[in-house]
Chains A and B, each alone.
Chain A
């Protein structure tokens, strides 16, 4: 079955995108990334701190993954655009996970600032992957601007609540032609499988793995969940019925 995942003109073998936030150590992170089989990994940009252990980029290079810098922590379009340009200079990539946060408590996107930043960054030649709400109209607006994908939240970042509004995720899948990546809210493997069954092209998660008691086991679970969910979404599931439909034929049943 030809089931390629092409994002921003690049083909990926894995539909699991992992974030690096929350890992207790670089060693733990490296093991989790390898277990998940991911090929695309997010990084943030923060002030140089002599007390922070160096080597994150070495780990990512050893894992052979492509970098996806983010604009985490930005609350305005101007801040996000500036951060994206800094990331481009630091990491030699035009790819940017665009986050423009509107609310400290939910960390949900600010739709107005997000659209502004996306428009500007697309114009500046970036491959823009916006973290967005599960609003199908906003997703379409982002896709129409030329974003390389839309990445709706299943639930607030780090909440582990899963997918609050599966119907909207399906509507987003129908509303845009670009890849849809479920980003944020995933708590466990069944959430990731569900996202894929809803028609998402990939899943992006961090905390569910990095903050799990056993990150390697959870990353392995996510790897399988994404594969299982994708296969199921393509396999033509049976319709849901209110009553039973026997799988064993009634013909040939003896009479007594």
Chain B
């Protein structure tokens, strides 16, 4: 197992897990979601291929009221 930090919360994760795998187990909305890993945007098209590494900091964002 490795540990990735998702929205500031450490989370044990299987080695080789991708962004798409992570989102599948998180309670995220079906649309309007964006992801950054270590401050870099990971585009939706790249979610299935982008493997998470130990210590990665993942931000999972979605629509919120504002502005």
Contacts and interface: CB of A to CB of B under 8 A. Distances in A.
A62 B63 CA distance: 16
A82 B39 contact: yes
Contact of B33 (A43, A72, A90, A99): A90
Interface string A177-219: 0000000000000000000000000000010000000000000
Nearest to A81: B41
A206 B63 contact: no
B19 to A, nearest CB: 12
B66 A70 contact: yes
Contacts of A237: none
Interface size class of A (residues with CB under 8 A): 20 to 34
Given A42-B67, A97-B67, A48 B62 contact: yes
A48 B33 contact: yes
A207 B29 CA distance: 26
Given A54-B29, A85-B41, A86-B41, A46 B64 contact: yes
Interface of B: 7, 26-29, 31-36, 39, 41, 43-44, 59-67
Given A29-B65, A50-B27, 20 more contacts: A20-B66, A22-B65, A43-B66, A45-B34, A46-B61, A46-B62, A47-B59, A47-B60, A48-B61, A56-B32, A56-B64, A57-B32, A70-B66, A70-B67, A82-B39, A85-B41, A86-B36, A90-B34, A97-B67, A206-B67
